[in-house]
A and B are shown apart, each in its own frame.
Chain A
Amino acid sequence: MKTLLKYREIWLLAAIVVLIGLISTRFPAFADPGNLRQVFNDTSILMILALGQMVVILTRSIDLSMASNLCFTGMVVAMLNAAHPAIPIPLLIVIALVVGLVLGAINGLLVWRLNIPSIVVTLGTLTIYRGATFVLSGGAWVNADKMSPEFIGFQRAAFLGIPVLSWIAILVIALFFILMTRTALGRSIYAIGVNPTASVYAGIDVGRTKFIVFCISGMIGGLAGYLWISRYVIASVEVANGYELNIIAACVIGGISIAGGIGSVGGAVLGALFLGIISNALPVINISPFWQMAISGSAIILAVVLNARGERQQGRIILRKMEAA
Chain B
Amino acid sequence: MSDVPAPRHIPDRLDKPFRSAIFSWEALLVVVALAIFAINSFASPYFLDPYSLSDLTFNFTEKGLIAFAMALLIISGEIDLSVAAIIALASTMMGMAVQAGAGTPVLVAIGIVVGLGCGAFNGLLVTRLGLPSIVVTIGTMSLFRGIAFIILGDQAYKGYSESFAFFGQGYVWWVLSFELVLFLIAAVIYWFALHRTSFGRRVFAIGNNPVAAQFSGVRVGRIKFILFCLTGLMSGIASVLITSRLGSTRPSIAQGYELEVITMVVLGGVSILGGAGSIVGVVLAAFIMGLVTFGLGLLNVPGIVMSIFIGLLLIIVIALPIVWRRLRGGR
Contact = CB atoms under 8 A, between A and B. Distances in A.
Contact of B1 (A62, A125, A295): A62
Interface stretch (B34-42, B53-61, B224-232, B311-319): B311-319
Given A60-B1, A130-B304, A249-B142, A301 B147 contact: no
A131 B307 contact: yes
B143 interface: yes
Nearest to A129: B311
B202 interface: no
B149 A294 contact: yes
24 contacts: A60-B3, A120-B266, A121-B315, A124-B311, A124-B314, A125-B315, A126-B259, A127-B311, A128-B315, A131-B306, A249-B138, A252-B138, A252-B139, A290-B146, A291-B146, A292-B146, A293-B149, A294-B143, A295-B146, A297-B141, A300-B139, A301-B125, A301-B139, A308-B131
Interface stretch (A93-101, A108-116, A221-229): A108-116
B145 interface: yes
Given A116-B322, A120-B266, A131 B135 contact: no
B266 A304 contact: no
Interface in B230-288: 251, 255-256, 259, 262-263, 266, 272-273
A115 B2 CA distance: 8
Contacts of A139: 302
Most buried by B among A123, A249, A292, A297: A297
B4 interface: yes
Interface string A279-311: 000000000101111111111110011001000
Interface string B289-326: 00000000000001011111011101100110011000
Question: Sorted from nearest, which 8 A-B pairs have the closest CB atoms?
Answer: A294-B146, A297-B142, A297-B143, A293-B146, A131-B308, A300-B139, A196-B3, A127-B311
Nearest to B309: A131
B106 to A, nearest CB: 26
B311 A126 contact: yes
B50 interface: no
Interface in B12-55: none
Contact of B273 (A117, A130, A237): A117
B322 A117 contact: no
A134 B136 contact: no
Given A60-B1, A116-B322, A131-B304, A308 B142 contact: no
A22 B99 CA distance: 37
Interface residues of A, number: 54
Interface string B73-84: 000000001000
A118 interface: yes
A134 B135 contact: no
A115 B330 CA distance: 14
Nearest to B145: A293
A127 B307 contact: yes
A245 interface: yes
Given A196-B4, A297-B140, A301-B143, A123 B130 contact: no
A130 B315 contact: no
B132 interface: yes
A252 B304 CA distance: 29
Nearest to B323: A114
Given A290-B150, A300-B142, A258 B132 contact: yes
Interface of A: 60-62, 64, 110-111, 114-121, 123-128, 130-132, 134-135, 139, 192, 196-197, 206, 237, 242, 245, 248-249, 252, 258-259, 288, 290-301, 304-305, 308
A86 to B, nearest CB: 31
B319 A110 contact: yes
A167 to B, nearest CB: 31
Contact of B139 (A119, A121, A124, A297): A297
Given A114-B323, A123-B259, A237-B304, 5 more contacts: A131-B311, A139-B302, A291-B149, A292-B146, A294-B147
B299 to A, nearest CB: 15
B210 to A, nearest CB: 14
B262 A123 contact: yes
Contacts of A237: 304
A117 B146 contact: no
Contact of B266 (A123, A132, A196): A123
Contacts of B308: 127-128, 131-132, 135
A253 to B, nearest CB: 9
Contacts of A252: 135, 138-139
